[in-house]
């Protein structure tokens, strides 16, 4: 079978529906034709700087109309966007640029510290600020009129339990199949409009951009999530669908008070872990149709989604796998689990990423192409998925993934720390927040540890509380038993007196 090709998404979309609204941002609207023209112009400027097909090009940009334009410009010339989380420290970003061998860094001027660090530490990366890019003269770029579904479109870093971030290779086909699977589930209306208040550098945001192009659908971009603006734009921009995590949804509900969203709003796509019962109940009472969903960077966004008709009957379930995808649960003994038996969630489908940058293509996969998520869950007798635990130790804080091993690595590099363990604890605002357990080697206090971590880790990863203990609970093979750390914390988030 030959590798399937489709027309370059933006070129095709601009041909099909040039006059439809593509993107709205801060009251500025671009039609698909205008979006194409701006992206084409930007592609020419990128080409002038030497950006070209297959080059890894790091992108450090906030949510903005310009960001959509730059990402689509990269697609027009076939360059691969390495999506940098703007909340990372300069140190973390330098690591990802090195790992991806990025040839360019496209960044807003405001990320001065990172830009300086990159310039100083990686001579092979050419830094082009957005401001400078837009002033660059235009050179006619070589447009990629057809993309192979197997071509890498974007790279996003995630960490595993080992703590080493890995670049997930997302192809055009991954994005395509993800968008199609979602459309077959949610339907597709001419008046659809998707609000993106999640970061474009995350798959949750990037996938909205891709759907906008594939569907010919208006997308509203917000720079940051704000519940007031969200409600306002759902009304004024006639938003029909929005992607949220629980913390965002809770703030929207608080802000709404006794109000309702307009009837045209038809889908609140809720990711980032199972939602608490009271939140779902409030949504039911306010007639907000919540679609709970399960997905990850490696599945190019949602892979399992629950329709609202089941949101009460199957409370807590993430739903069923989208049409092109499959899931199964592997029990401890390696066989497929029975209904209600817990095990590792493994997934399969053409939306599952091609692999990890610099890793063997079968890494994380077993026979038949099944991808092992590391998450724990079970299926009921009707095939509804219940996710019980994300990657055993993954902490999800305000929609951001935190990998304890990565934080522990930083804490252990402090000269006065002998041993460190990190877990997530429940938090009303963020869902979870990271806390650390430290065994001291020499004298050090909580603030010193936190300040040390702040210089090396994105703010959301920095432990919000430090517990000093005598020894970490480890099993026979010296593996940290995080469950025991969790047991040490009472409901008041204080250590039991025996451990204080």
Interface residue list for a second copy (CB under 8 A): 1-7, 12-13, 15-16, 146, 149-150, 173, 180, 183-184, 187-190, 214-216, 320, 323-326, 348-350, 369, 383
Please say which residue, 211 or 391, places its beta carbon nearer to a second copy: 211
d(CA 178, CA 159): 22
343, 365 in Cβ contact below 8 A?
A: no
Please say which residue, 184 or 455, places its beta carbon nearer to a second copy: 184
Which residues on adjacent β-strands are paired with residue 371?
347, 365
**The dihedral formed by the CA atoms of 171, 175, 181 and 183, expressed in degrees to the nearest 10:** -160
Residue 297 is classified by DSSP as G
In angstroms, the Cα distances linking 396 to 207, 230, 427, 431, 481 are: 19, 22, 11, 7, 19
Nearest of 79, 139, 199, 73 to residue 460 by alpha carbon? 199
Please say which residue, 25 or 32, places its beta carbon nearer to a second copy: 32
- CB of 325: closest distance to a second copy in angstroms? 8
Please say which residue, 139 or 264, places its beta carbon nearer to a second copy: 264
Which residues on adjacent β-strands are paired with residue 490?
none
Please say which residue, 172 or 430, places its beta carbon nearer to a second copy: 172
Nearest of 157, 166, 147 to residue 9 by alpha carbon? 147
Please say which residue, 163 or 324, places its beta carbon nearer to a second copy: 324
- CB of 324: closest distance to a second copy in angstroms? 5
The phi-psi region of residue 50 (left if phi > 0; otherwise alpha if psi is between -120 and 50; otherwise beta) is left
- CB of 359: closest distance to a second copy in angstroms? 17
In angstroms, the Cα distances linking 299 to 135, 331, 352, 368, 381 are: 37, 21, 4, 16, 24
- CB of 383: closest distance to a second copy in angstroms? 5
Please say which residue, 15 or 116, places its beta carbon nearer to a second copy: 15
- CB of 355: closest distance to a second copy in angstroms? 12
Instruction: Return the SS3 of 145.
Output: coil
Please say which residue, 78 or 165, places its beta carbon nearer to a second copy: 78
d(CA 49, CA 97): 18
- CB of 71: closest distance to a second copy in angstroms? 19
- CB of 150: closest distance to a second copy in angstroms? 4
- CB of 180: closest distance to a second copy in angstroms? 5
From first CA to last CA, the distance across the chain in angstroms is 64
């Amino acid at each position: 079978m030959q590798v399937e090709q489709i027309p370059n998404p933006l070129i095709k979309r601009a041909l099909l529906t040039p006059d439809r609204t593509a993107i709205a941002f801060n009251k500025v609207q671009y039609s698909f034709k205008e979006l194409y023209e701006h992206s084409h112009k930007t592609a020419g400027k990128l080409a002038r700087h030497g950006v070209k097909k297959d080059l890894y090009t790091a992108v450090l940009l906030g949510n903005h109309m310009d960001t959509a334009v730059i990402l689509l410009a990269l697609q027009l010339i076939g360059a691969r966007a390495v999506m940098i989380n703007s909340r990372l420290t300069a140190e973390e970003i330098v690591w990802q640029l090195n790992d991806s061998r990025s040839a360019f860094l496209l960044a807003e001027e405001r990320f001065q510290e990172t830009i300086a660090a990159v310039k100083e530490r990686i001579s092979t990366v050419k830094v082009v600020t957005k401001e400078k890019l837009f002033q660059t003269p235009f050179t006619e770029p070589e447009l990629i009129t057809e993309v192979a579904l197997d071509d890498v479109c974007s790279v996003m870093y995630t960490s595993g339990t080992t703590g080493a971030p890995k670049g997930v290779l997302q192809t055009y086909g991954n994005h395509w199949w993800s968008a199609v699977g979602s459309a077959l589930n949610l339907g597709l209306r001419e008046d659809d409009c998707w609000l993106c208040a999640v970061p474009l550098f995350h798959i949750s945001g990037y996938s909205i951009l891709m759907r906008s192009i594939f569907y010919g659908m208006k997308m509203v971009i917000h720079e940051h999530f704000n519940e007031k603006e969200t409600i306002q734009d759902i009304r004024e921009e006639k938003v029909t669908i929005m992607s949220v995590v629980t913390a965002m949804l809770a703030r929207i509900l608080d802000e709404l008070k006794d109000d309702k969203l307009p009837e045209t709003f038809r889908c609140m796509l809720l990711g980032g872990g199972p939602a608490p019962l009271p939140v779902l109940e409030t949504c039911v009472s306010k007639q907000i149709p919540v679609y709970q969903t399960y997905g990850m960077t490696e599945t190019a966004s949602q892979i399992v989604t629950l329709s609202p008709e089941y949101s009460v009957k199957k409370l807590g379930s993430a739903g069923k796998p989208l049409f092109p995808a499959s899931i199964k649960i592997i029990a401890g003994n390696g066989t497929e689990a029975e209904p209600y038996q817990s095990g590792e969630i493994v997934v399969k489908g053409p939306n599952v990423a091609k692999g990890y940058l610099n890793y063997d293509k079968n890494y994380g996969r077993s026979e038949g192409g099944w991808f092992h998520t590391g998450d724990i869950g079970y299926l009921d007798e009707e095939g509804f998925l219940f996710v019980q635990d994300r990657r055993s130790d993954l902490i999800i804080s305000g929609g951001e993934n935190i990998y304890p091993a990565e934080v522990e690595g930083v804490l252990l590099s402090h000269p006065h720390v002998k041993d460190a363990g990190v877990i997530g604890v429940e938090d009303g605002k963020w869902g979870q927040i990271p806390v650390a357990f430290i065994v001291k080697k020499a004298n050090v206090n909580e603030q010193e540890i936190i300040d040390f971590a702040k210089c090396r880790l994105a703010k959301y990863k920095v432990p919000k509380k430090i517990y000093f203990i005598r020894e970490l609970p480890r099993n026979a093979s010296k593996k940290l038993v995080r469950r025991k750390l969790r047991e040490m914390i009472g409901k008041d988030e204080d250590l039991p007196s025996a451990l204080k």
